[in-house]
Structure 1
């Protein structure tokens, strides 16, 4: 499998600059940074959370962990990570563990940690374990309708 058509169509339709990176099959953002020989801080990991009855995607750097207290303060509500079963039911067309942070494709909001905004480029999941998307934070903002930046991570 390559990058799912749903993802490439989404990228092309929005007319943003991006690059598809091919690499060996990896299952974690940490392994992706080692494989691509880049800093963990520019590799994004997508988490899916539930607050109230809503689902949202949260993108943080691979060098960070989600800070649930900061996220609660940011959202004004408590949030929890969702189960893999729920992810499989709600997010179709991409591989589990390779979910790109394009919440609008699945009717979700997307929150991106502000630490990624200062990077020249960031590397995202593409929907497949063997490919990634390289994009600037500015183009990511153009790509994702309603993207919200916030501080909700902490160092590992």
Structure 2
């Protein structure tokens, strides 16, 4: 699989041009950045959180972690990190753990970390563990137009 069906449909519907960047099989955004020779901070990583009101996708730079307490304060509700087996049904067209940071394409409430705002290009999972997508910065924000923005990532 080079690109998940929902992702391709969403990119096409939004009129966003993209480049596919293949790399060897990886298991994390850190490994994908190394394999594709890309700065890890330029990878937009999706982290899925769950709570009583359903799932939330937090999109952060690949070289950071989500501050759960900051997200909880922002949304004023309790959330926990979702387990990979919990996300499989949400992203049925993706390999397990290869979640594209495009919550709107999957009908998932999405938060976008402000640390990603200054990048000219964004790289992210296409739905498998061997392909990244590259889009222009303004197109990435078009794809995440309805996402709430704030600072909730941490390098610690």
1:27 Cα deviation (Å)?
1.4
The answer to whether the aligner puts 1:109 opposite 2:109 as a matched pair is yes
Q: Determine the C-alpha separation between the residues in 2 that align with 1:116 and 1:36.
A: 19
Root mean square deviation, CA, Å: 1.5
Equivalent residues, number: 156
Single out whichever of 99-108 and 123-132 deviates more from structure 2.
Answer: 99-108
Instruction: Give the equivalent residue in structure 1 for 2:131.
Output: 131
Listed one character per residue, the Cα deviations across residues 38-88 of structure 1 (whole Å, up to 9, x for unaligned) are 211111221111133221111111211111121112112222111222111
Mapping of residues 1-156 of structure 1, within 5 Å: 1-156=1-156
SS in structure 1 of the partner of residue 55 of structure 2: strand
1:105 Cα deviation (Å)?
2.6
Q: Determine the C-alpha separation between the residues in 2 that align with 1:155 and 1:89.
A: 30
1:134 Cα deviation (Å)?
0.9
Q: Determine the C-alpha separation between the residues in 1 that align with 2:12 and 2:106.
A: 17
1:136 Cα deviation (Å)?
2.6
TM-score after normalising by structure 2: 0.91
Q: Determine the C-alpha separation between the residues in 2 that align with 1:86 and 1:152.
A: 22
1:145 Cα deviation (Å)?
4.6
* Structure 2 portions without partners, runs of 5+: none
| Runs of 4+ deviating beyond 6 Å | none
* Structure 1 portions without partners, runs of 5+: none
